[in-house]
Amino acid sequence: MKLWLILGAVNGFISVALGAFAAHGLAGRVGEKELAAFETGARYHMYHALALLAVAWLAQHASASLTYAAGWAFLAGMILFSGSLYYLGITGSRALVLVTPVGGLAFLAGWALLAAAAAGLKAHP
């Protein structure tokens, strides 16, 4: 649980910092498409930082192996999806464009694994 809480908090911090960088450091220095890509990366980064907090909670109440797998999938998605969009936003280079959908698939896998773990929860009377 502690690992996922720390990773969720650290990634939440990073996503806010990068979002602020986009608003104050990139705006006016890169094109609209590049800025939008960067902001999309930061938005999805935050969504999945919060998802790691759900992983922390669910790891105490459901299958640890499924929830841990979900957490690692979310982290992989943040690196691949958000990271490739950050790269595009800063450099304008589409060199990592094929990495972005792989990160999106990692996000989807994380949500599916989280749902599978939640399905194993026992109802409280």
What local confidence, expressed as pLDDT, does residue 122 receive?
Answer: 79
- Using the structure block, give the residue that is written with the tokens 């999106």: 104
What local confidence, expressed as pLDDT, does residue 124 receive?
Answer: 67
Give the span between the Cα atoms of 52 and 103, in whole angstroms: 16
What local confidence, expressed as pLDDT, does residue 54 receive?
Answer: 97
Q: Are 99 and 80 in contact (CB under 8 A)?
A: yes
Q: What is the mean pLDDT, run by run of 10 residues, along the chain of 125 residues? A: 96 98 95 97 98 96 95 98 98 96 98 96 73
Phi, psi of 101 (to 5 degrees): -65, -25
Q: Are 17 and 38 in contact (CB under 8 A)?
A: no
